[in-house]
Structure 1
Amino acid sequence: MASPEHRATAAAILPLVGGAANISSVAHCMTRLRLELRDRSLVRDEELRALPAVLGVVEDDTYQIVLGPGRVARVAPEFQALLTATGPATGAVTALALAERGAAIKAARRTRNATPGKLLLRRVANVFVPLIPALIGCGIIAGLNGLLINLGWLPGITPALTALAGGFMALIAVFVGYLTAKEFGGTPILGGAVAAVIVYPGVANIEMFGRQLSPGQGGVLGALGAAMLAVYVEKGCRRFVPAALDVLLTPTLTVLIAGLVTLFGLMFLAGTVSAAIGEAAGALLSGGGAIAGFVLGGLFLPLVMLGLHQALIPIHATLIEQQGFTVLLPILAMAGAGQVGAAMAVYARLPHHPGLRATIRSALPAGLLGVGEPLIYGVSLPLGRPFITACVGGAFGGGFIGFFHMIGDTVGSTAIGPSGWALFPLLRGSHGLGTTVAVYAGGLLTGYVAGFCATYWFGLRNPPEPAPSSTPAKD
Structure 2
Amino acid sequence: MRNDPASTATAVLARVGGPANVTSVTHCMTRLRLALADPAAADERALRAVPGVLGVVAAGTDWQIVLGPGAVDAVTAAVTTAVTTAPARPASAPAPAPGAGPATDSGAGPDGGTADQEARAAGQGALVKERLRRRDATPFKAALRRVANVFVPLIPALIGCGILAGLNGLLLNAGLLPGLTPALSAIASAFMALIAVFVGVNTAKEFGGTPVLGGAVAAVVVYPGVAKVTAFGVHLAPGQGGVLGALAAAFLATRVEKWCRGRVPGALDVLLTPTVTVLVPGLVTLYGLMYAAGAVATATGTAANWLLTTTGAVAGLVLGALFLPLVMLGLHQALIPLHATLIDQQGYTVLLPLLAMAGAGQVGAALAVYVRLRHDVPLRTTIRSALPAGLLGVGEPLIYGVSLPLGRPFLTACAGGAAGGAFVGFFAMLGTEVGATAIGPSGWALFPLLTGNRGPGAAVAVYGGGLLTGYAVGFAATYLFGFTHRPRTPADA
Normalising by structure 2, what TM-score? 0.82
Deviation at 1:80, TM superposition (A): 9.0
Q: 1:139 to 1:107 in 2, by over 3 A?
A: same
Deviation at 1:242, TM superposition (A): 0.8
Residue 6 of structure 1 pairs with residue 3 of structure 2: yes
Helix, strand or coil at the partner of 2:435: strand
Q: 1:94 to 1:245 in 2, by over 3 A?
A: farther
1:425-465 deviation per Cα after TM superposition (whole angstroms, max 9, x unaligned)? 22222233332222211111110001000111111133677
Residue 70 of structure 1 pairs with residue 93 of structure 2: no
Of 63-72 and 237-246, deviating more is 63-72
1:10–1:76 contact (8 Å) kept in structure 2: no
Q: What corresponds to 1:245 in structure 2?
A: 268
Q: What corresponds to 2:115 in structure 1?
A: none
Q: 1:17 to 1:179 in 2, by over 3 A?
A: closer
Q: What corresponds to 1:31 in structure 2?
A: 30
Q: What corresponds to 1:197 in structure 2?
A: 220
Q: What corresponds to 1:177 in structure 2?
A: 200
Deviation at 1:258, TM superposition (A): 0.6
Helix, strand or coil at the partner of 2:69: coil
2:417–2:474 contact (8 Å) kept in structure 1: yes
Helix, strand or coil at the partner of 2:103: helix
Q: 1:83 to 1:147 in 2, by over 3 A?
A: closer
Deviation at 1:103, TM superposition (A): 6.7
One-letter code aligned to 2:401: G
Residue 139 of structure 1 pairs with residue 162 of structure 2: yes
Q: Supply the distance in 2 between the matched residues of 1:152 and 1:18 (Cα, whole angstroms).
A: 56
One-letter code aligned to 1:263: L
Pairing partner for 1:429 from 448, 452, 468: 452
Of 151-160 and 346-355, deviating more is 151-160
1:7–1:78 contact (8 Å) kept in structure 2: no
Q: Supply the distance in 2 between the matched residues of 1:144 and 1:399 (Cα, whole angstroms).
A: 29
1:385-412 deviation per Cα after TM superposition (whole angstroms, max 9, x unaligned)? 1111111100111111112222232211
Q: Supply the distance in 2 between the matched residues of 1:337 and 1:318 (Cα, whole angstroms).
A: 25
1:42-66 deviation per Cα after TM superposition (whole angstroms, max 9, x unaligned)? 95579x27x6x55444444466554
Deviation at 1:351, TM superposition (A): 1.6
One-letter code aligned to 1:70: G
- Give the number of equivalent residue pairs: 459
Q: 1:229 to 1:82 in 2, by over 3 A?
A: closer
Residue 93 of structure 1 pairs with residue 118 of structure 2: no
Of 339-348 and 157-166, deviating more is 157-166
Residue 410 of structure 1 pairs with residue 409 of structure 2: no
Residue 387 of structure 1 pairs with residue 443 of structure 2: no
2:171–2:177 contact (8 Å) kept in structure 1: yes
Residue 331 of structure 1 pairs with residue 328 of structure 2: no
1:337-365 deviation per Cα after TM superposition (whole angstroms, max 9, x unaligned)? 00110111111111222222222122111
1:55–1:359 contact (8 Å) kept in structure 2: no
Which sections of structure 1, spanning at least 5 residues, go unmatched? none
2:327–2:396 contact (8 Å) kept in structure 1: no
Q: What corresponds to 1:164 in structure 2?
A: 187
Q: 1:69 to 1:161 in 2, by over 3 A?
A: closer
1:27-84 deviation per Cα after TM superposition (whole angstroms, max 9, x unaligned)? 66543466767644695579x27x6x55444444466554432344456677899999
Deviation at 1:124, TM superposition (A): 0.9
1:6–1:74 contact (8 Å) kept in structure 2: no
Of 442-451 and 130-139, deviating more is 130-139
Of 161-170 and 4-13, deviating more is 4-13
Q: Percent identity of the aligned residues?
A: 65
Residue 302 of structure 1 pairs with residue 295 of structure 2: no
Which sections of structure 2, spanning at least 5 residues, go unmatched? 88-95, 106-118
Q: Supply the distance in 1 between the matched residues of 2:235 and 2:219 (Cα, whole angstroms).
A: 18
Q: What corresponds to 2:147 in structure 1?
A: 124
Pairing partner for 1:267 from 290, 297, 303: 290
Deviation at 1:378, TM superposition (A): 1.6
Q: 1:22 to 1:159 in 2, by over 3 A?
A: closer
Deviation at 1:144, TM superposition (A): 2.0
Q: Supply the distance in 1 between the matched residues of 2:425 and 2:482 (Cα, whole angstroms).
A: 26
1:31–1:68 contact (8 Å) kept in structure 2: yes
Deviation at 1:187, TM superposition (A): 1.0
Helix, strand or coil at the partner of 2:451: strand
Q: What corresponds to 2:479 in structure 1?
A: 456
Q: Give the superposed CA RMSD.
A: 3.6
1:325–1:415 contact (8 Å) kept in structure 2: yes
Q: 1:393 to 1:254 in 2, by over 3 A?
A: same
1:357-383 deviation per Cα after TM superposition (whole angstroms, max 9, x unaligned)? 222122111111111111111211111
Deviation at 1:119, TM superposition (A): 1.1
Deviation at 1:324, TM superposition (A): 2.0
Q: 1:13 to 1:368 in 2, by over 3 A?
A: farther
Q: What corresponds to 2:91 in structure 1?
A: none
One-letter code aligned to 2:321: G
2:165–2:185 contact (8 Å) kept in structure 1: yes
Helix, strand or coil at the partner of 1:393: helix
Q: Supply the distance in 2 between the matched residues of 1:19 and 1:227 (Cα, whole angstroms).
A: 31
Q: 1:445 to 1:250 in 2, by over 3 A?
A: same
Q: 1:43 to 1:81 in 2, by over 3 A?
A: farther
Helix, strand or coil at the partner of 1:370: coil
Normalising by structure 1, what TM-score? 0.85
Q: 1:13 to 1:247 in 2, by over 3 A?
A: closer
Q: Supply the distance in 1 between the matched residues of 2:146 and 2:337 (Cα, whole angstroms).
A: 12
2:17–2:41 contact (8 Å) kept in structure 1: no
Q: Supply the distance in 2 between the matched residues of 1:32 and 1:221 (Cα, whole angstroms).
A: 25
Q: Supply the distance in 2 between the matched residues of 1:466 and 1:409 (Cα, whole angstroms).
A: 47
Q: What corresponds to 2:389 in structure 1?
A: 366
Helix, strand or coil at the partner of 1:6: coil
Q: 1:244 to 1:77 in 2, by over 3 A?
A: closer
Q: Supply the distance in 1 between the matched residues of 2:7 and 2:275 (Cα, whole angstroms).
A: 50
1:393–1:454 contact (8 Å) kept in structure 2: yes
1:368–1:421 contact (8 Å) kept in structure 2: yes
One-letter code aligned to 1:304: V
Q: Supply the distance in 1 between the matched residues of 2:30 and 2:280 (Cα, whole angstroms).
A: 42
1:143–1:428 contact (8 Å) kept in structure 2: no
Q: Supply the distance in 2 between the matched residues of 1:302 and 1:398 (Cα, whole angstroms).
A: 15
Q: 1:273 to 1:77 in 2, by over 3 A?
A: closer
